[in-house]
Amino acid sequence: MIEKIAREIVRLFPRDGFSKDPFKILISTILSQRTRDENTELATARLFKKFPDLASLATARPEDLYDLIRPSGMYKQKALRIIQVVQKLLHEYDARVPDDLEELLKLPGVGRKTANIVLYHAFGKDALAVDTHVHRISNRLGFVKTSRPEQTEERLSKLIPKELWGPLNGSMVEFGKTICQPRRPKCHLCHFKEECKYFAEHHLRSLSDGKDS
């Protein structure tokens, strides 16, 4: 059942538009941390318009990035991380983004979600990126019962086939933005409410409340 639902989410909520450039994917994903997609897109476009690649960022200072990436939030922290990443790539990786999980995790500001997004979209590797959407939806549907994204990643990787790992992140992001929203999920529009643990619990609760009123 879990695999069937996962496949339907990928089919119904496709997400394209990712760059194939490993460096741009890496930097864009760093900018996406704790902000909305539209803010990430604006900050990414502004940054790469002025600094189109790693070489052009090599001599930049964090403060040169502040106004460009301000829409993404935490812009001072992110600017510092980006410059640190650039310098590390230059001096330790021959100006190339590594295609290995452990090496990616050595880069400043790069966690498992960011690393897995880079691995899948830039290098076509089987990688399961778990962000807040994937974590929330997986728990709501009853795929897992976890408290941290790292736990969700570990459990999901055993429950769904590798071919779904990569596309599931983007599809769950779209599903989470349009239907399974954080605060007010649109359960009445959801294709999976009959199998959903969250819907079952809240539907029964609302019926109970109705009887008591």
pLDDT band at residue 209 under the 50/70/90 scheme: low
Do 104 and 143 contact (CB within 8 A), yes or no? no
Residue 113: active-site member: yes
Residues 8 and 41 occupy one common structural domain: no
Residue 4: active-site member: no
Neighbours of 54 (CB within 10 A): 20
Tally the domains of the chain: 2
Q: Select which of 113, 177, 186, 209 is catalytic.
A: 113
pLDDT band at residue 207 under the 50/70/90 scheme: low
Residue in the block written with tokens 């009959």: 194
pLDDT at residue 26 tops 80: yes
Residues 85 and 54 occupy one common structural domain: yes
Residues 28 and 119 occupy one common structural domain: yes
Tell whether pTM > 0.85: yes
- Render pLDDT for 48-61 as a digit per residue (tens, 0 to 9): 999 999 999 999 99
Residues 145 and 91 occupy one common structural domain: no
Residues 41 and 118 occupy one common structural domain: yes
Residues 111 and 133 occupy one common structural domain: no
Do 117 and 160 contact (CB within 8 A), yes or no? no
- Render pLDDT for 128-175 as a digit per residue (tens, 0 to 9): 999 999 999 999 999 999 999 999 999 999 999 999 999 999 999 999
Residues 38 and 97 occupy one common structural domain: yes
Residues 69 and 157 occupy one common structural domain: no
Point out the least confidently predicted range of 12-21, 22-31, 54-63, 178-187: 12-21
Distance (Å) of CA 204 to CA 37, 67, 210:
34, 49, 10
- Render pLDDT for 73-83 as a digit per residue (tens, 0 to 9): 999 999 999 99
Domain of residue 206: give its range.
2-14+129-212
Residues 41 and 89 occupy one common structural domain: yes
State the chain's mean pLDDT as an integer. Answer: 93
Residues 134 and 93 occupy one common structural domain: no
pLDDT at residue 212 tops 80: no
Residues 139 and 193 occupy one common structural domain: yes
Q: Select which of 49, 131, 209, 211 is catalytic.
A: 131
Domain boundary among 76, 102, 123: 123
CATH number for 163: 1.10.1670.10
pLDDT band at residue 203 under the 50/70/90 scheme: confident
